[in-house]
Amino acid sequence: MKAALAVMEKDLRLAWRDRAGWLTAGSFAAISVLVYSFALDLAARDVRPLLPGLLWVTFLFAGIISSGASFHGEAERGTLDAQLLAPVPRTALYAGKLLANLVGLLVVEVATLALATILFDEPLLTPELGGILLVGTAGYVSLVTVLATLGSRVRARVVLMPVLALPLLVPLLIAAVRATGAALGEPAGEAPWLLLLAVFTVWSAVGSALLFPLAVER
């Protein structure tokens, strides 16, 4: 746990000093929401049924951008190896990176929700939506973090993320969109979407933690 916290603190400090990852992800999310608000005729149409999908697609790509940035240069400058040399479990290193990515992305997402609340005139900053956001984000960030690690070792890193991550994330995204829709009062069917989202998040976190040692193996 001490090692995971050390890695998390270090990654957050690096992200704060560099800011490129957060700024890119934040800018992407803000521009996306802004474009959606202009694209949809807010006066003539109820946009509420569309919001869950728009928000989660925005969060997904913002997450891929910011998580990828967390591994920027780690392989090239040898700092990933320097951490792997330490006598700590690989999963502790993974947990630290995951927590840093999660914190950074939640900041971006909350800011995006605040902007969307203004632009779409919908109350999006609610505790219920906050819970869905936390669970869903933890799920996809856990997967994206391990894939970003894998990507830092291969030449085809640009295509690795969309090719591997997006298909794997489809079940989580469906559950997250449905759960968000239900929280906004939209009909979401009988399925327990929040429970499914939580199950997928646990599966994703455990699977990724087990995969991480293999992803960094040479």
Positions that interact with another protein (CB under 8 A): 2-3, 6-7, 10, 13-14, 17-18, 73, 76-79, 81-89, 217-218
Measured from the CB of residue 169, what is the shortest distance to another protein in angstroms?
A: 30
Neighbours of 217 (CB within 10 A): 9
Q: What are phi and psi of 147, to 5 degrees?
A: -70, -35
Q: Is 98 exposed, middle or buried (0-12, 13-18, 19+ CB in 10 A)?
A: buried
Neighbours of 43 (CB within 10 A): 5
Measured from the CB of residue 73, what is the shortest distance to another protein in angstroms?
A: 8
Measured from the CB of residue 71, what is the shortest distance to another protein in angstroms?
A: 13
Measured from the CB of residue 22, what is the shortest distance to another protein in angstroms?
A: 13
Q: Identify which of 174, 166, 187, 205 has the alpha carbon closest to the alpha carbon of residue 53.
A: 174
Q: Are the C-beta atoms of residues 99 and 145 closer than 8 Å to each other? A: no
Q: Which is nearer to another protein, 155 or 218 (CB)?
A: 218
Q: Which is nearer to another protein, 72 or 157 (CB)?
A: 72
Q: Is 87 exposed, middle or buried (0-12, 13-18, 19+ CB in 10 A)?
A: exposed
Measured from the CB of residue 93, what is the shortest distance to another protein in angstroms?
A: 9
As a whole number of angstroms, the distance between CA 70 and CA 198 comes to 25
Q: Which is nearer to another protein, 199 or 211 (CB)?
A: 211
Q: Which is nearer to another protein, 37 or 91 (CB)?
A: 91
DSSP string, 148-190: HHHHTTSTTHHHHIIIIIHHHHHHHHHHHHHHHHHHTT----S
Q: Which is nearer to another protein, 21 or 139 (CB)?
A: 21
Q: Which is nearer to another protein, 5 or 118 (CB)?
A: 5
Measured from the CB of residue 102, what is the shortest distance to another protein in angstroms?
A: 20
Q: Is 130 exposed, middle or buried (0-12, 13-18, 19+ CB in 10 A)?
A: middle
